[in-house]
Amino acid sequence: MNDNSSGAVQPNGGPPSPKPLSPPGFGAADSPHRALIERLRVNLASVVLGKKDVIEKCLVALLAGEHLLLEDVPGVGKTLIGKALAKSVAGEFARIQFTPDLLPSDILGSSVFHTQRGEFVFHRGPLFANIVLADEINRAPPRTQSALLEAMSDRQVSTDRVTHALPHPFMVIATQNPFEFEGTYALPESQLDRFLMRVSIGYPDAQQEREVLRSHRSGEPVDDLEPVLTCEQVGRLQELVRTVRVDSAIDDYLLEIIHATREHPDLHVGVSTRAGLSLYRAAQSLAMVSGRDYVVPDDVKQLAVPALAHRVLMRGFQHSGRRDAAEQLISDLVQAIAVPA
How confident is residue 28, by pLDDT bands cut at 50, 70 and 90? low
Note the pTM of the prediction, 2 decimals.
Answer: 0.84
Choosing from 210, 230, 250, the residue where a domain stops is: 230
Report the pLDDT averaged over residues 118-132: 88
Q: In this predicted structure, what is the pLDDT of residue 111?
A: 83
The domain tally of the chain equals: 2
Q: In this predicted structure, what is the pLDDT of residue 9?
A: 39
Choosing from 170, 203, 230, the residue where a domain stops is: 230
Report the pLDDT averaged over residues 211-226: 82
Q: In this predicted structure, what is the pLDDT of residue 29?
A: 54
Distance CA(257)–CA(302), nearest Å, equals 13
Whether the pLDDT of residue 269 is over 90: the answer is: no
Distance CA(48)–CA(51), nearest Å, equals 6
Q: In this predicted structure, what is the pLDDT of residue 4?
A: 42
Whether the pLDDT of residue 289 is over 90: the answer is: yes
CATH number of the domain enclosing 136:
3.40.50.300
Rg (CA), the chain: 23
**Strand (E) or helix (H) holding 79:** helix 78-88
Residues 6+ apart with CB under 8 A from 20: none
Q: Quickly list DSSP for 243-308.
A: TSB--HHHHHHHHHHHHHHHH-TTEEE---HHHHHHHHHHHHHHHHHTT-SB--HHHHHHHHHHHH
Give the tens place of pLDDT for each residue, 331-340: 999 999 999 9
Q: Are residues 201 and 260 in the same domain?
A: no
Question: What number of other Cβ atoms are within 10 A of residue 228's Cβ?
Answer: 18
Counting residues of the chain whose pLDDT is more than 70, the rounded percentage is 88
Q: Are residues 88 and 222 in the same domain?
A: yes
Count CA atoms within 13 Å of residue 198 on its CB side: 22
Counting residues of the chain whose pLDDT is more than 90, the rounded percentage is 47
